[in-house]
Copies of this chain bind each other. A is one copy, B any other.
Amino acid sequence: MQHSSALTTALHHRSIRKFKDQAIPDELFNQLIEAGKMASTSSFLQSVSIIRVTDLHKRQQIREICGSAGGKGQMYVQESPEFLVFCVDTHRHQQLVPEAQTDWTEILLIGAVDVGIMAQNILLSAESEGLGGVYIGSLRNDIAQVTDILALPTGVIPLVGLCLGYPDQEPLQRPRLPTSLILSENAYQVATQTDLAIYNEQVKAYYLERNGKVFNWTEQVRNTLAKPVRPDILAFLHKQGFAKR
């Protein structure tokens, strides 16, 4: 799987949460950052900054935010060879152009999409070189504290983390929604209950094989969304100067 094409790499993606005790060579790490930098950027605004977290105490603090309270969840945040935090950054724009109106919601959308594009450039490039990784959205469990830990100024928010390293596991690929449900032509096609039920059966079969758990996609959606979902985010965004209007 060394140096595989982007297409082949993407088709074989699995999130990796267990890594060998082997550092990523500096040269490769630097190339991955270059790959991220060359990503498309909306309106050439370059609204993304990356914090590379090497300080083990900070890693532990962030892992505690990511994992369930009191538990040992997401130890890979603490132990992966590399942990990057991708931030939406309007601080530079403010430095250069103090009258920049970075508090429009549009700027948050630009930044969030640019983060996804840049981060995926890095992850896919890493995977094509034999590395693996997993995104860490759970740093938004306490996004304000992560902001403090990384000393982010106003105009910068930590959006998603990425663990990288050499894989020490070979997980199964989790079945995705069928193409007929995510791809429409010219006009949105609403999913039928039959299609969704068939997909639920596929997810159930996957979890039964993986860990004997009886679990389907509807339950995943309910567990995640039938409750307040990180309700502090909007107030935090406003405090950092985002999405105020």
Hey, which bits of chain A sit against chain B, CB under 8 A? Answer: 3-7, 9-13, 15, 30-46, 48-55, 58, 87, 89, 91-93, 95-97, 99-102, 104-110, 112-121, 123-129, 134-135, 137, 140, 150-153, 156, 159-160, 173-174, 176-177, 179, 181-188, 190-191, 193, 196, 217-218, 220-222, 224-231, 233-234, 237, 243, 245
Contact = CB atoms under 8 A, between A and B. Distances in A.
Given A120-B121, A226-B100, A11 B31 contact: yes
A224 B6 contact: no
Contacts of A243: 105, 234, 243
Q: How many copies of the chain does the oligomer comprise?
A: 2
A124 to B, nearest CB: 4
The CB with the most chain B CB atoms within 10 A, among A52, A106, A119, is that of A106
Contacts of A50: 182-184
A225 B101 contact: yes
A48 B50 CA distance: 25
Contacts of A233: 104-106, 109
B221 A100 contact: yes
A177 B219 CA distance: 44
A218 B188 contact: no
A186 B113 contact: no
Contacts of A231: 104, 106, 245
Contacts of A31: 7, 11
A220 B47 CA distance: 13
B191 A95 contact: yes
A125 B176 contact: no
10 contacts: A10-B39, A34-B179, A43-B224, A45-B224, A51-B187, A97-B221, A106-B231, A113-B119, A116-B118, A151-B188
